[in-house]
Amino acid sequence: MTKFKTTYLLLLLFILCFGVNCKREKTNNKTEDPNKPNIIFILADDLGYGDVGFNGQQKIKMPNIDKLAKNGMVFTNHYTGSTVCGPSRAVLMTGKHTGHSTVRGNPRWTASGTPVDINAEDITVAEELKRAGYTTGIIGKWGLAENLADGLPNKQGFDYFYGFNQHSPAHHYYPKTIFENGNELTLEGNDPQTKQGQYIHYLINEKATQFIDKNYKEPFFLYLAYTIPHFELTIHEKEKEQYKSLGWPKRKMTPGGYYHDAEGHTTYAAMVSTMDKDIGKLMKQLEDLGVTENTLVIFASDNGHEYDDLKNEFFNSNGDFKGHKRDLYEGGIHTPFVAYWPNKIKAGSTTNHLSAFWDFLPTACDLAGITPTDEIDGISYAPTLLGNENQQQKHNYLYWEFNERQGPIQAVRQNNWKAVKFDKKPVELYNLSNDTGEQNNIAEQHPEKAKELLYFINNSRTEHPEFPLIKKTLKKYNH
């Protein structure tokens, strides 16, 4: 009996010790795993590099975006996915540049005239983050489901969607309908032509607020894709008041397919400032909920500006750059970009790390502790965000292609070298270290470098039947 008791006590002691050790090991593992941050990617539509205060804008007031820059990290060498919104957004979502992505042009610029959406085989950043336990939402302009089929956000990893599946409806601020998940909702009283009813930007912000309120207790990813300041240019008169008495010259806007307000400058500035004001409200909401320090907020634009007249610039929307929307010169693809994450990202910091939209997916995966599923072109910039630049991998080069009226056009950036190639024309070469405005084509002075970048231009894409690099004409389609 005594021997049995002794054996029993030893066995019991062993079990207790093993249990404590197991519990301690489990606790330690949990402690070692970093907290998965909430991720909010805010995307403006057609906002130029020079339209933001942290890149030199002096006319348009945007204290909240400037505050993000003051307390976060500004990327001076960040690029969009494309020079128009459809392919740019596809690149952002899939981590593949336009030489490899499914969507390489806007809907009417396909070979057949049939819009191309991202498909079931595409793996989006939302699908990746779902694997890591995130709740995912897209609010605003999706623009990757023209056919209302496989490209729908709820089929691409998003738990919640409120906004525009297609491009054309997103061009109006008083749309008749809007999608919420799979339901097309009628906005009672809305008339795009008379600009009556509910201004859609306010509704987008309301839904963003609700999404955060509902999901802030667990990791969430919010892709907040504003339609501001894309044409049409229109905003409530109350938003323009701060600009009306400044003595600005008038710029008459002519209504057409877009139902612009009569005067452009005050409207454009007021639209950007309204977006800024609502970003401020969002940041205040994160603070009130106590999740600011575990939330990465990124602000960028989908491509270069369209509003400012390059022949008579008022806002200097492209800064020192050449070109704007629909160009592969810097003004069309070099985007404003700022990242904010208190106590993780050094306040007031700047980086010249060369990065692009296709880097967002691997960055989000990196921060969520997972590896991208698909073969992608992006490289995580998380080391740069977290101050570990000595661990930052770098691109050998960046590649773009674009094919609308001036196309086909291709471009490559490698370090400070930039090459631009128009169809059947010699490659252009620029040194951005001393020629930010791409004014001096030095291909003849540096033939070996021009040849090297031309090789990348010719060997950085897979063929796509709907996006061949041949001269195209605009197609008509019914969406």
Q: What Rg do the C-alpha atoms of the chain give, in angstroms?
A: 25
pLDDT of residue 35: 81
Q: Are 94 and 118 in contact (CB under 8 A)?
A: yes
Which residue in the block uniquely carries the two structure tokens 């983050």?
129
The DSSP secondary structure of 318-360, one letter per residue, reads: TTT-S--TT-SSHHHHB--EEEE-TTTSPTTEEE---EEGGGH
Q: Are 163 and 206 in contact (CB under 8 A)?
A: no
Q: Are 55 and 69 in contact (CB under 8 A)?
A: no
How is residue 360 written in tokens?
A: 């967002």
How is residue 206 written in tokens?
A: 């309301």
DSSP code for 252:
B
Q: Which of 263, 251, 220, 26 is nearest to 132 (CA)?
A: 220
Beta strand 38-44 pairing with 295-301: parallel
Indicate the residue type of 346. K
Q: Are 240 and 267 in contact (CB under 8 A)?
A: yes
Q: Which of 167, 325, 335 is nearest to 258 (CA)?
A: 167
Measured CA angle at 274 (ends 273, 279), to 5 deg: 95
- Structural domains of the chain, ranges and CATH numbers in brackets: 36-395 (3.40.720.10), 400-458 (3.30.1120.10)
pTM: 0.92
Polymer length of the chain: 479
Phi, psi values for residue 313, rounded to 5° = -65, 140
d(CA 41, CA 62): 18
Residue 32 burial (C-beta neighbours within 10 Å; 0-12, 13-18, 19+): exposed
DSSP code for 194:
T
pLDDT of residue 11: 44
pLDDT of residue 10: 44
Which residue in the block uniquely carries the two structure tokens 């197991």?
22
d(CA 248, CA 135): 45
d(CA 54, CA 264): 23
d(CA 296, CA 81): 21
Q: Which of 26, 223, 231, 67 is nearest to 139 (CA)?
A: 223
pLDDT of residue 475: 65
d(CA 265, CA 293): 37
Q: Which of 275, 274, 332, 276 is nearest to 306 (CA)?
A: 332
The DSSP secondary structure of 50-77, one letter per residue, reads: GGSGGGT--SS--HHHHHHHHTSEEESS
Beta strand 177-180 pairing with 183-186: antiparallel
Query: In sequence order, which residues have a C-beta less than 8 Å from that of residue 223 and are 6 or more positions away?
Result: 41, 43, 126, 136, 137, 138, 139, 140, 158
What is the helix (H) or strand (E) element at residue 451, kind and residue range?
Answer: helix 447-458
pLDDT, averaged in runs of 10, over the chain (479 residues) = 43 40 29 72 98 98 98 98 98 98 96 96 98 98 98 98 97 98 97 96 98 98 98 98 97 94 98 98 98 98 97 96 98 98 97 98 98 97 97 98 95 98 97 98 98 98 97 65
